[in-house]
Structure 1
Amino acid sequence: MTRVLIITGDPVGASMAGPAIRAWNMALTLRARDHEVRVLSTTRADRPDAPFPVVAVAPGDERAFRAHERWAEVIVFQGYALGQFPSLRRTDRFLVADVYDPMHLEMLEQGRELPPATWRLRVATARDALNDQLSRADLLLCASDRQRLFYLGHLASLGRLTPDTYAHDPDLRGLLDLVPFGLDPVPPQASPGSGIRDVVPSIGADERVLIWGGGVYSWFDPLTLIRAIAAVRDRVPGIRLFFLGTRHPGVDEMGIVRESFDLAVELGLEGREVVFNDTWVPYADRGAYLLDADAGVSTHHVHVETTFAFRTRILDYLWAVLPMVVTEGDGFADLVREEGLGIVVPANDVDALAEALATVLTDAAAAEGFRAAVARVRERYTWPVVLEPLVRFVEAPHHAADYTPGREGMGSAGSRRPRRTSGLGHNLRMAAHHLKHSGVRDVVGRLRRRLAHG
């Protein structure tokens, strides 16, 4: 039995987004293998039903964090934790960095609406945090073969691909292994009275439902999708598009949400053909929503974030055995095309998207073929299967070949001081930055939001 601490920057509660869902399922899987597990959130923790301790420790609370760090034998972490807790970056515990989200690429898109100086700062902060993880971890976990190639380049530039790391591990899986996002091995269950058709008045038993199974962010393209709904509604009577959640539990609402709503109103679709759920469906309840859908959809723009992204919502489509329509350009689009899970369309092509939506909703033979393929493929992505590399490491933990005490010297960037992302000094620097580039009103608004969230 190994003691494992799993750290996430996302809220852990009834409503969870990708990072917290991933941490939660890591914990469940490791506990099922008889390991002792704790989950630590740096924002909020509220899971009284958890079969293991779930705690919240604020960034910079070194005293509280240190107790958990000393308890653990293996520490798995995501995001900015190295810059939030000095004892983590110096730890002698076995350290696993979960880099399934290339957050600096994500921030290139997510920060578009920010003042230019703030956009540059956030990208630089994400880049430095990622480089710190790559420099110091004993094991790194990524989500796709594309990401693995990308991170191997990172590791080479950071000086970690050395004769020491290569000598007994020529494929380098001992340093960087593949752990995609997963899905529950137990299929979703219908919950009477809690599906889309039960809670949305405009979606009845006879409507044909497309589900957008997650949040609406700037790197996605809901606008082309809404236009495609308008283009096809006369051919597919009763077509409905349901956005599962527009209010992410850990991210401020982006402008694309308002743009999507406004476009649906302009085209006369809002509240009927296009329905926005303005909350976030509890994690345990999402199965009933998925089972009420006829197909899943994911549309995005094509840019560098797309190339290396891993669209976690598509795992839920696999879980619920839904045919899918997706935009080309990411790794999942390749899987959909190669395995016949649905239809892949060019980016920003309203006509092609409208045709694909009509096919999955009206061609019964095609939809049945897609469902059969999805049912076959989904077994590869259950959490116990995808987490095997982490389980193997936890059962025989070891330091990386280039490990040194204090984690100094792991690669050419190993001794570089991480960018601090917590503490009084960090808060003062951020306040000065936003005051300079966004003004007093923005600083006051940020302070009010922080106080409101505790």
Structure 2
Amino acid sequence: MSRKIDLISMEMLPGHGAPVAGGGLRTWSLLETLRAAGHDVRVCLPQALIDQYGLTQYSAFQPAAMQAFLDASPAEVFVFEQWYPLSLPERVDRPVVVDLPGPLLLENYWRRVAATERMALAKLRALGRADVWLYATPRQRYYWLAFMALSGHDLAAPALVHAPIAFPAQPASGRERDPSRFVYAGVFWPWQDPTPALSALVSVLERRGRGTLEIFGGPHPQHEVEGQRYLDPTATLPPGPRVQYRGMLPFEQLTERLETAGVAVDVVPCNAERELSSTIRTVVYLHCGLPVVVSRHSYLVEAIAAAGAGWIVDDAPGGLEPVFEAVLNDADEVTRRGDAARRLAQARFTCPGAMLEFLAVVDRLEVGRRPEPFTERLDRQVRELEHGLRERIGQLEATAAAQAGEIAHLGRLAADREASLHAARLCRQALEEAYYIASRDLEALRSSLPHRLLRALKRLLGKYREPDDYRPRIPEAWSRPPSHTDT
């Protein structure tokens, strides 16, 4: 069943005379796979990229207006290469596939991007907009299952589809190869450092007095990546008779140069990103018929070893020189392993054959149940918390206003009480002063009266201190009729 599909990417595709990075090659792979299956595919790129390279055959979008672009699109299905273009304010009303070929958050760790937490939340929100997730290597499935759980998807039937790194078949060019010509190609990234292995190779080449190393690479050709600190091997391996730097070439020119080389080197120290990476450059080497000296931690080692398409090595530089010596000593073995590399690529890493599971999903894909992602649940809970806090603040403000009136009333009462206390203090002070004056005058009077008068006064006063004896006699005397004795 042919469907109208919008393939949305932020990366430059090969075929336009410009260097490309892994995201552009992956977009090209998805495009060729879908078209080979008969789907009507429209490639959609950022307006700035289309204007820069004159790519008028593609549809343009503004990343900030992606929601409006999707709403106006005639597509039946949307396929996003990487998750960040899917950072939308609302859900899409048509099926959405998101391609996740690499662990971007782990890459950002080596870029030293400060906003990792913010990016993780944005990633979960974007992944919650998709119905199906594509992953590139078997190891990545377990990595994405954790994100799927956080984004709210059903782990009982996870919508994860294996879509390996694969490219259209590359027929042998028939060009003559130089078995003593080694190559390393691709964007220089901070999480992969090839210089220890390449230094070991150059030591062998210089000691043997033959062979060359060609390095095709540089920073990302189109985008200034946030926090980018790419490793520049020129600081350790300066150009010379055995080391040649070619820069970033257009993909067509790069593959022409690779098809005349003898051996590719893809050895970098192991880290979390490398263990989960999809190593696109390694698959490019195999398609170009290049046997690969590859790190043991690569997810491709079992396939390469089984096919006899390269040499599996440890990261330690001390163990690499004997391998490079053996390669230089046996040109026929290099040729045999190169032929095996091309056969392996055709059998395992050629589209559309390697992506049949992806195509089967596209044929039957409908809008599925998109549960509320963790980030949206978190946003909702934060909104509810904010609403509750605002209500509580309103209640506290009303209570504070009521209590402010009560406090003002109590303040007035306190002021009145203080005024009364002050008046009482003044009255007490006046009484104390009067008592002092009276006491002083009494003392003066005491000292001035004769002693006998004082005693008589005391006797007189003593009579007034016995009111119970004195008072009954008064009314009796007043009521008795006068007699002659009274006169």
User: TM-score of the superposition, structure 2-length normalised?
Assistant: 0.69
Partner of 2:94: 93
Task: Name the SS of the counterpart of 1:45 in structure 2.
Answer: helix
Residue 72 (structure 1) aligned with residue 75 (structure 2) = yes
Report the alpha carbon displacement of residue 183 of structure 1 after superposing the two structures with TM. Answer: 2.0
Out of 343, 353, 356, the position equivalent to 2:320 is 353
Show CA shifts across 1:231-287 (max 9, x none): 2024543221111121421344965544x212223xxxx132111123x21122222
Aligned mates of 1:207, 1:369 — CA distance in 2:
11
Q: Is the 8 A contact 1:294 1:361 kept in 2?
A: no
Q: Is the 8 A contact 1:136 1:410 kept in 2?
A: no
Q: Residues 96-111 of structure 1: matches in 2 within 5 Å?
A: 96-111=97-112
Q: Is the 8 A contact 1:24 1:39 kept in 2?
A: no
Residue 44 (structure 1) aligned with residue 24 (structure 2) = no
Report the alpha carbon displacement of residue 318 of structure 1 after superposing the two structures with TM. Answer: 1.0
Residue 31 (structure 1) aligned with residue 24 (structure 2) = no
Report the alpha carbon displacement of residue 109 of structure 1 after superposing the two structures with TM. Answer: 1.4
Task: Name the SS of the counterpart of 1:249 in structure 2.
Answer: coil
Partner of 1:399: 367
Aligned mates of 1:242, 1:319 — CA distance in 2:
18
Partner of 1:444: none
Report the alpha carbon displacement of residue 48 of structure 1 after superposing the two structures with TM. Answer: 9.0
Out of 128, 135, 140, the position equivalent to 1:135 is 128
Q: Residues 370-381 of structure 1: matches in 2 within 5 Å?
A: 370-378=337-345, 379-381=347-349
Count of matched residue positions in the alignment of Structure 1 and Structure 2: 371
Partner of 1:262: 235
Q: Is the 8 A contact 1:328 1:346 kept in 2?
A: yes
Partner of 1:313: 281
Task: Name the SS of the counterpart of 1:356 in structure 2.
Answer: helix
Q: Residues 222-371 of structure 1: matches in 2 within 5 Å?
A: 222-252=194-224, 255-258=229-232, 260-265=233-238, 270-278=239-247, 280-347=248-315, 349-371=316-338
Q: Is the 8 A contact 1:159 1:413 kept in 2?
A: no
Aligned mates of 1:128, 1:337 — CA distance in 2:
39
Aligned mates of 2:178, 2:357 — CA distance in 1:
44
Aligned mates of 2:6, 2:189 — CA distance in 1:
30
Q: Is the 8 A contact 1:40 1:55 kept in 2?
A: yes
Report the more deviating stretch, 378-387 or 20-29: 20-29
Q: Which runs of 5+ in 2 are unaligned?
A: 381-487
Of Structure 1 and Structure 2, the greater helix share is in: 2
Aligned mates of 1:262, 1:48 — CA distance in 2:
32
Q: Is the 8 A contact 2:91 2:129 kept in 1?
A: no
| Equivalent AA in structure 2 for residue 151 of structure 1 | W
Out of 8, 12, 17, the position equivalent to 1:14 is 17
Report the alpha carbon displacement of residue 34 of structure 1 after superposing the two structures with TM. Answer: 2.3
Q: Is the 8 A contact 1:97 1:139 kept in 2?
A: yes
Report the alpha carbon displacement of residue 338 of structure 1 after superposing the two structures with TM. Answer: 4.2
Show CA shifts across 1:20-49 (max 9, x none): 221123222222322111111235137999
Residue 160 (structure 1) aligned with residue 153 (structure 2) = yes
Q: Which runs of 5+ in 1 are unaligned?
A: 112-118, 192-196, 198-204, 404-408, 419-454
Q: Is the 8 A contact 1:14 1:46 kept in 2?
A: no
Q: Is the 8 A contact 1:219 1:300 kept in 2?
A: no
Partner of 1:2: 3
Work out which of the two has the higher radius of gyration on C-alpha atoms and give 1 or 2: 2
Aligned mates of 1:49, 1:186 — CA distance in 2:
27
Q: Is the 8 A contact 1:8 1:79 kept in 2?
A: no
RMSD: 2.9
Q: Is the 8 A contact 2:181 2:214 kept in 1?
A: yes
Aligned mates of 1:48, 1:390 — CA distance in 2:
30
Aligned mates of 1:255, 1:91 — CA distance in 2:
36
| Equivalent AA in structure 1 for residue 45 of structure 2 | S
Report the alpha carbon displacement of residue 229 of structure 1 after superposing the two structures with TM. Answer: 2.6
| Equivalent AA in structure 2 for residue 59 of structure 1 | P
Seen in structure 2, the aligned counterparts of structure 1 residues 415 and 28 have a Cα distance that, compared at 3 Å, is farther
Residue 185 (structure 1) aligned with residue 169 (structure 2) = yes
Seen in structure 2, the aligned counterparts of structure 1 residues 206 and 319 have a Cα distance that, compared at 3 Å, is closer
Report the more deviating stretch, 41-50 or 372-381: 41-50
Task: Name the SS of the counterpart of 2:236 in structure 1.
Answer: helix
| Equivalent AA in structure 2 for residue 143 of structure 1 | A
Task: Name the SS of the counterpart of 2:249 in structure 1.
Answer: coil
Partner of 1:385: 353
Q: Name segments (4+ residues, structure 1) moved above 6 Å.
A: 46-50
Aligned mates of 2:152, 2:70 — CA distance in 1:
29
Q: Is the 8 A contact 1:160 1:412 kept in 2?
A: no
Seen in structure 2, the aligned counterparts of structure 1 residues 206 and 81 have a Cα distance that, compared at 3 Å, is closer
Aligned mates of 2:240, 2:50 — CA distance in 1:
34
| Equivalent AA in structure 2 for residue 209 of structure 1 | R
Seen in structure 2, the aligned counterparts of structure 1 residues 318 and 307 have a Cα distance that, compared at 3 Å, is same
User: TM-score of the superposition, structure 1-length normalised?
Assistant: 0.74
Aligned mates of 2:66, 2:154 — CA distance in 1:
32
